[in-house]
């Protein structure tokens, strides 16, 4: 993979993330105290979709750096750790993304009505800035390659 291919792959994924963010905004109203169970499920799914896009960006970065992550039970955690180790993710962003990964894992194995709305809300409130921050960190990292 060339640097231009890496840039294009990352930009394409960030465009996809932006599309999902836009759709999430059509469902999630920060001013509302409560959302229906259907809205909560939709918002949670959008969050997980966005996190999946973030993983795709990080995976492309690691493939470019010849640090391909093998598909294994713990590859999601390994991906974040490696991205932190090589300097793509500063410690605070690593922790933030770890929270999204933990939510993803929790969501997959639970019924939506067993997930606290406040847990979904806190991630939904921060997801725009988290995606924007990751984009800045990726752009900065690419400049050093």
CATH number of the domain enclosing 134 = 1.20.120.330
Give residues with Cβ within 8 angstroms of 42, minimum separation 6: 24, 27
Tokens of 124: 């939904």
Q: How buried is 17 (Cβ within 10 angstroms: 0-12 exposed, 13-18 middle, 19+ buried)?
A: buried
- Residue ranges of E strands in the chain: none
Say if residues 116 and 43 touch (Cβ distance below 8 Å).
no
Give the model's pLDDT for residue 72. 75
Look up residue 29 and give its DSSP letter.
-
Residue 64's φ and ψ, nearest 5 degrees, are -60, -40
Cα–chain-centroid distance for residue 23?
A: 15
Average pLDDT, the chain: 95
Look up residue 72 and give its DSSP letter.
S
CB atoms within 10 A of CB 98: 16
What's the CA angle centered on 15, arms 10 and 17, to 5 degrees? 95
Q: Rounded to an integer, what distance in angstroms lies between the CA atom of residue 62 and that of residue 81?
A: 11
Structural domain range at position 102: 3-29+36-143
**Predicted structure pTM score:** 0.93
- pLDDT, one tens digit per residue, over 38-93 is 999 999 999 999 999 999 999 999 999 988 787 777 899 999 999 999 999 999 99
Tokens of 91: 């410690």
Give the model's pLDDT for residue 71. 76
The number of distinct structural domains making up the chain is 1
């Amino acid at each position: 993979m060339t640097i231009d291919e890496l840039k294009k792959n990352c930009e394409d994924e960030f465009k996809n993330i932006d599309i999902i963010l836009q759709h999430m905004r059509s469902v999630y109203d920060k001013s509302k105290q409560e959302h229906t169970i259907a809205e909560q499920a939709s918002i949670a799914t959008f969050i997980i979709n966005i996190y999946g896009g973030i993983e795709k960006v990080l995976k492309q970065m690691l493939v470019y750096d010849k640090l391909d992550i093998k598909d294994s039970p713990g590859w999601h955690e390994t991906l974040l750790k490696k991205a932190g180790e090589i300097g793509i993710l500063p410690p605070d962003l690593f922790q933030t993304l770890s929270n999204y990964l933990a939510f993803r894992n929790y969501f997959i194995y639970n019924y939506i009505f067993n997930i606290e709305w406040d847990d979904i809300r806190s991630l939904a409130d921060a997801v725009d800035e988290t995606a924007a921050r990751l984009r800045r960190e990726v752009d900065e990292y690419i400049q050093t390659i």
